[in-house]
Amino acid sequence: MGSATSFWRTERNGGILACGPLRAFAECDPDGARLVLTQWNDHKLRDIEVLGGIGHARLKIAETYVRGNDLVADCAHAGEDRIAPQLYWRATLAEKGQVARVELVLSVRTDLLDSAPIWTTNSFVTDSMLYHANELHSTRFSEINKTSGKLNRDDSDVQLFVFRIPRIDLSYAEMIHPSDFVSAEAEGENPPCVRAQLFPERLEKGVIRRARICGWFMPAENDLETAVELAKRFVDEPLPLTA
């Protein structure tokens, strides 16, 4: 975390983020969680929501607070599977302050013997072009114009997406950690979006399972090359401490 002053300031059931060139707010309510962008450098933004998600039950928010550069949302047990999520939005700056990184660490636990911790993510970026890569050995991306079809971990557990808005020099890259990825589907219009599922295994009583999805906000120039390098580092990082 490293900084005496946090990037976050709590507000209602979420927090306001000021991280380098990025301004946004994260919110968590019974219908789910999301990060809503409001500004990139001098450009006001609208209709851009990323790192969103919901389980198979409405969330019961117990508390939200800031710890270091994490915004934390604690939720109570909910649904038939008695899943209690805890969400961490972890903000950092990379690439000499040119890239704002927000990692969503999702921690789930249950008090039942056998549960399925379902979590579906959703990100959409209006007025963008959407690119996709299923490996990190090159910068070979394909543009998604309509729909990608279903992308499964049996084909590749590496799924990197880049949304690009050239007119404001902003690109947003997103990837679920390969150990947590189940499947994804992307659409290239109305607006471009990515939906994905986390948690490839069931959950035993008393076990805490964590999953990670990372988002990077960066200048549009050389965005694909930058996204691949950042994703490689993310894959090799150890599971972050959240307690």
pTM for this one?
A: 0.91
Query: What one-letter code names the amino acid at 181?
Result: F
Number of other residues whose CB lies within 10 A of the CB of residue 18:
17
Instruction: Assess whether pLDDT exceeds 80 at residue 208.
Output: no
State how far the Cα of 52 lies from the Cα of 35, in Å rounded to an integer.
6
Number of other residues whose CB lies within 10 A of the CB of residue 110:
23
Instruction: Assess whether pLDDT exceeds 80 at residue 56.
Output: no
Query: What one-letter code names the amino acid at 58?
Result: R
The mean pLDDT of 61-72, rounded to a whole number, is: 91
The mean pLDDT of 215-234, rounded to a whole number, is: 97
Sign of the torsion formed by the C-alpha atoms of 227, 232, 233 and 238: positive
Element holding 225 (H helix, E strand): helix 223-236
Give the residues across from 91 on adjacent strands. 102
Is the pLDDT higher at 143 or at 80?
143
Q: What are phi and psi of 84, to 5 degrees?
A: -115, 100
Domains and CATH numbers, the chain: 8-236 (2.70.98)
**What average pLDDT is seen over the chain?**
88
Q: Which residue has the tokens 């690109």?
A: 171
pLDDT one-digit tens code per residue, 146-196 = 888 899 999 999 999 999 999 999 999 999 999 999 999 999 988 999 999
